[in-house]
Amino acid sequence: MRLVLDDEQRAFTDSLESMLTGADTPSVVREWSRGEHGSGRALWSRLAAAGVFALAAPEEYDGVGVRPVELALAFTALGRHVVPGPLVETIAAAVLLPTPDLVKRLVSGETLATVAYGGPYALDGDAADLCLVLTPDGLHAATGHGPVRPSLDPARRLTTLTPGALLTSEPPLAKALLLARLTTAAQALGVGLALLDQTVRYVRQRTQFGVPVGSFQAVKHQLAAAKTALEFARPLVLAAAVTLDPADVAAAKVTAGEAAYATARTALQLHGAIGYTAEYDLSLWLTKARTLRTAWGSPEECRDTVLSAGDPHC
Amino acid sequence: MDLAFTPGEQAFREEARAWLAAHVPTASLPSLETAEGFAAHRAWEAELAADRWSVVDWPVAYGGRDAGLVRWLLFEEEYWAAGAPGRVGQNGISLLAPTLFDHGTEEQRARVLPPMARGEVVWAQAWSEPEAGSDLASLRSKAVRTDGGWLLSGQKTWSSRAAFADRAFGLFRSDPDAAKPHQGLTYLMFDLRAPGVTVRPIARLDGKPAFAELFLDEVFVPDADVIGEPGQGWRIAMAATGNERGLTLRSPGRYRAAADRLHALWRDRGGPDGMRTRVADALIGARAYQVFTYAAASRFLDGASLGPESSLNKVFWSEYDIALTETALDLLGAEGELADTEWAERYVFALAGPIYAGTNEIQRDIIAERLLGLPKGRR
Q: What is the ipTM of this complex?
A: 0.96
Chain A residues whose beta carbon lies within 8 Å of the beta carbon of residue B297: 1
Verify whether the Cβ–Cβ distance A300 to B279 is below 8 Å: no
Q: Does the domain spanning A7-171 belong to CATH 1.10.540.10?
A: yes
Same domain, B332 and B296: yes
User: Is the residue at B151 inside a domain?
Assistant: yes
Contact at CB, B302 and A4, closer than 8 angstroms: yes
Which of B204, B231, B258 represents a domain boundary (last residue)? B231
Domain holding B319, by residue range, is 250-372
Residues of A with Cβ-Cβ distance to B309 under 8 angstroms: 231
Whether residue B64 sits in one domain with residue B160: no
Query: How far A302 CA lies from chain B's nearest CA (Å)?
Result: 9
C-alpha atoms less than 13 angstroms from C-alpha of B354 in its C-beta half-sphere = 11
Does some domain include residue B238?
no
Q: Does residue B222 lie within any of the structural domains?
A: yes
Helix A217-243 with A68-80: angle, nearest 10 deg: 150
Domain ranges of chain A: 7-171, 174-310
B153 forms beta bridges with B142
Evaluate whether A7-171 and A174-310 have a shared fold: no
**What is the pLDDT, as a whole number, of residue B134?**
84
d(CA A200, nearest CA chain B) in Å: 7
Distance separating alpha carbons of residues B155 and B169, to the nearest angstrom: 13
Q: What is the pLDDT of residue A312?
A: 42
Check which CATH number belongs to the domain holding B183 and give it. Answer: 2.40.110.10
Return the percentage of chain A with pLDDT > 90, whole number: 97
Residue B245 has a pLDDT of 62
Residue B108 lies in a domain: no
Residues 6+ apart with CB under 8 A from B131: B138, B139, B140
Q: Does some domain include residue B243? A: no
Does any CB of chain B come closer than 8 Å to the CB of residue A209?
no
Residues from chain A contacting residue B291 (CB–CB below 8 Å): 3, 235-236, 238-239
The reported pLDDT for the residue numbered B378 is 59
CATH class (in words) of the domain with range A174-310? mainly alpha
* For residue B242, pLDDT beyond 50: yes
Nearest residue in B to A10, CA atom: B1
CB-based contact A221 B3, cutoff 8 Å: no
Q: Tell me: the pLDDT tens digits for A41-77? A: 999 999 999 999 999 999 999 999 999 999 999 999 9
Lowest pLDDT segment from A305-314, B21-30, B191-200, B223-232: A305-314
- DSSP assignment string, chain A: -B-S--HHHHHHHHHHHHHHHTTTHHHHHHHHHTT--HHHHHHHHHHHHTTTGGGGS-GGGTS----HHHHHHHHHHHHHTT--SSHHHHHHHHHH---HHHHHHHHHTS--EEEE-SSSEEETTTT-SEEEEEETTEEEEEEEE---EE-SSTT-EEEEEEEEEEEESS--HHHHHHHHHHHHHHHHHHHHHHHHHHHHHHHHH-EETTEEGGGSHHHHHHHHHHHHHHHHHHHHHHHHHHH--HHHHHHHHHHHHHHHHHHHHHHHHHHGGGGG-SSSTHHHHHHHHHHHHHTTS-HHHHHHHHHHH-S---
Q: Where are the beta strands (DSSP E) in chain B?
A: 123-126, 142-146, 149-160, 167-173, 185-191, 197-202, 211-222, 226-227
* B199 and B258 both lie in a single domain: no
On whether both B219 and B311 belong to a single domain, the answer is no
At residue B118, does pLDDT exceed 60? yes
Domain identity same for B170 and B227: yes
Q: How far is A177 from chain B (nearest CA, A)?
A: 20
CB contact under 8 A, B374 and A254: no
- Residue B270: pLDDT band (50, 70, 90) is confident
pLDDT for the residue B304:
84
A143 touches chain B (CB under 8 A): no
Q: What is the pTM of this model?
A: 0.96
Residue B226 has pLDDT above 90, yes or no: yes
Task: Tally the C-alpha atoms within 13 A of residue B146's C-alpha that lie toward its C-beta.
Answer: 13
pLDDT for B300 equals: 87
Question: Which residues of B are part of the catalytic machinery?
Answer: 244
pLDDT band at B244 (very low <50, low <70, confident <90, very high): low
B283 and B331 both lie in a single domain: yes
Contact (CB, 8 A) for B75 and B134: no
* Residue B227, in any domain of the structure: yes
Cβ <8 Å between B295 and A235: yes
| Whether B364 and A300 lie within 8 Å, measured CB to CB | no
pLDDT for residue A313 is more than 60: no
Measured distance CA(B64)–CA(B222) in Å, rounded = 28
What is the number of structural domains in chain B?
3
What does the pLDDT look like over A141-156, one tens digit per residue?
999 999 999 999 999 9
Q: Residue range B303-310: average pLDDT?
A: 84
Residue A164 has pLDDT above 60, yes or no: yes
Query: Which of B3, B4, B375 lies closest to A215 in CB terms?
Result: B375
CB pairs under 8 A between A and B: 156
Share of chain B above pLDDT 90, in %: 85
β-bridge partners, B255: none
Res. B306 pLDDT band, cuts 50 70 90? confident
Q: What is the rounded (10 degree) CA torsion for B189, B195, B200, B201? A: 60
Q: Are residues B155 and B209 in the same domain?
A: yes
State the smallest CA–CA distance between residue A170 and chain B in angstroms: 31
How much is the mean pLDDT over chain A? 96
Q: Let me know whether B263 and B301 are in one domain.
A: yes
Cα A295 from chain centroid?
9
Considering the domain boundaries, does residue B355 fall inside one?
yes
Which is higher by pLDDT, B243 or A11? A11
